[in-house]
Amino acid sequence: MKKKVSNVFSFIKEMYAEWTADNCFQLAAALSYYTLFSIAPMLIIVISVAGYFFGEEAINGEIQRQMSSLVGNDGAEALAKMIQSAYIDAERGLLPTIVGIVTLFLSATLAFTALQDSLNKIWKVQLKPQSGIMAVVINRVLSFAMVLGIGFLLLVSMVINSLLSALNKYIERLLADYSVYLIKLSALFIGFAVITVLFAMIFKFLPDVKIKWRNVWIGALLTSFLFSVGRYLISWQIGNSDLTNTYGAAASIVGIILWINYSSLILFIGAEFIYVYVKRKGETIKPDEHAIKINYGRDEHAVQSAEADAAHPAYAGRNSRHAGKAIVIDKSR
């Protein structure tokens, strides 16, 4: 038992060392910035994909409801205005419509491209310098596929929720005393499953790596758990913080950025967990055919120093000096 506890603390220390060396707070801040510009175009595509089956009005309403529970009513209203302003008016003519579609595509994939770069850094890979325009196109298409995947998962979630609603009266007759709790638990489980699949898709397909599904799922489950718990905490924090007095008219946007930043940090915790977990198993996360392995010069010295800092929190600020170490490309690939 004592050894297991020691192993857990050792694992957490190593995760903290990698987290610090990769400068994940800076990565999350950058991703939040890009996502702010991507979220409206991305949701337009999601609404269009899922709305084909359920109707855009129903999907829009569902997204509004979800956003209200996450970032509050003001944040949801601000997001609705962003979506409305990003819609393409086909009556403006052919050329403006084409330009609008291309801009929508590039904007929607911007956040996933930034996320891909961040995960590549955490997992110590990068695109080959000679990859050229084709690799960029492939990455953009992959990012767009992730956006479509979100639309598909939203569609699946709504189908299941619709089935639960249809079965609600039948369940009430069978289990009158417990039907409400059963429906709520089912909804929570469905939400958790959908989020887990989304994180698994991100870890498996977005970075330029080859990674086994069994390693992906354990990281996706942890990330989904932290995300599910944290969403209530951050929503409570936003709901009970008087952002309007502090930030004025920008309060709704600040709430959205806070939520995006928190979600990014949780995602990077999952990525660091997978990296350390795979390394401790004696395996490696290998680059795919378009990428190469990177050996950060800080790996041995900086990680050991950060682990020492983790044991002495009073000195935790010292390890920031390792973040700028040189990068050495492993040309064995």
Residue 6: count other Cβ atoms within 10 Å of its Cβ: 10
- Asked whether residue 48 is assigned to any structural domain, the reply reads yes
First to last CA, the chain: 41
Cβ 252 vs Cβ 78: under 8 Å: yes
At residue 126, φ and ψ (nearest 5 deg) are -155, 160
Report the pLDDT averaged over residues 126-132. 74
Helix axis angle, 179-205 to 213-240, nearest 10°:
120
- Where helices occur in 123-212 by DSSP H, the ranges are 132-174, 179-205
Please give the residue that has the higher pLDDT: either 174 or 22.
22
What residues contact residue 29 under an 8 Å CB cut-off, 6+ apart? 261
Cβ 219 vs Cβ 281: under 8 Å: no
Helix axis angle, 56-86 to 24-54, nearest 10°:
130
Distance CA 281, CA 69 (A): 39
Distance CA 128, CA 289 (A): 9
- Asked whether residue 80 is assigned to any structural domain, the reply reads yes
- Asked whether residue 164 is assigned to any structural domain, the reply reads yes
> Has residue 307 got a pLDDT over 70?
no
- Asked whether residue 279 is assigned to any structural domain, the reply reads no
Helix axis angle, 251-280 to 94-122, nearest 10°:
40
Tokens matching residue 297: 């010069």
Task: Write down the residue that tokens 């599910």 correspond to.
Answer: 228
Provide the pLDDT for residue 322: 44
Least confident of 24-28, 118-122, 302-306, 320-324: 320-324
Helix (H, G, I), strand (E, B) or coil at 328: strand
Distance CA 123, CA 112 (A): 16
Task: Write down the residue that tokens 């991305």 correspond to.
Answer: 42
Please report which confidence band the pLDDT of residue 314 belongs to, taking 50, 70 and 90 as the band edges: very low
Provide the pLDDT for residue 27: 94
Tokens matching residue 273: 């967990």
Distance CA 70, CA 29 (A): 19
Please give the residue that has the higher pLDDT: either 44 or 24.
24
Least confident of 83-87, 91-95, 194-198: 91-95
- Please count the structural domains in the chain: 1
- Report percent pLDDT > 70 for the chain: 67
Q: What angle do CA 16, 21, 26 make, to 5 degrees?
A: 95
At residue 298, φ and ψ (nearest 5 deg) are -85, 0
Q: Residue 40 burial by CB count (10 A; 0-12/13-18/19+): exposed, middle or buried?
A: buried
Distance CA 72, CA 256 (A): 9
Nearest to 198 by CA among 157, 170, 169, 232: 157
Range of the domain at 40: 25-270
Nearest to 205 by CA among 146, 152, 148: 146
Provide the pLDDT for residue 82: 77
Tokens matching residue 201: 């898709």
Report the pLDDT averaged over residues 61-70. 74
What residues contact residue 94 under an 8 Å CB cut-off, 6+ apart? none
Provide the pLDDT for residue 4: 83
- Asked whether residue 248 is assigned to any structural domain, the reply reads yes
Q: Residue 124 burial by CB count (10 A; 0-12/13-18/19+): exposed, middle or buried?
A: buried
- Asked whether residue 15 is assigned to any structural domain, the reply reads no
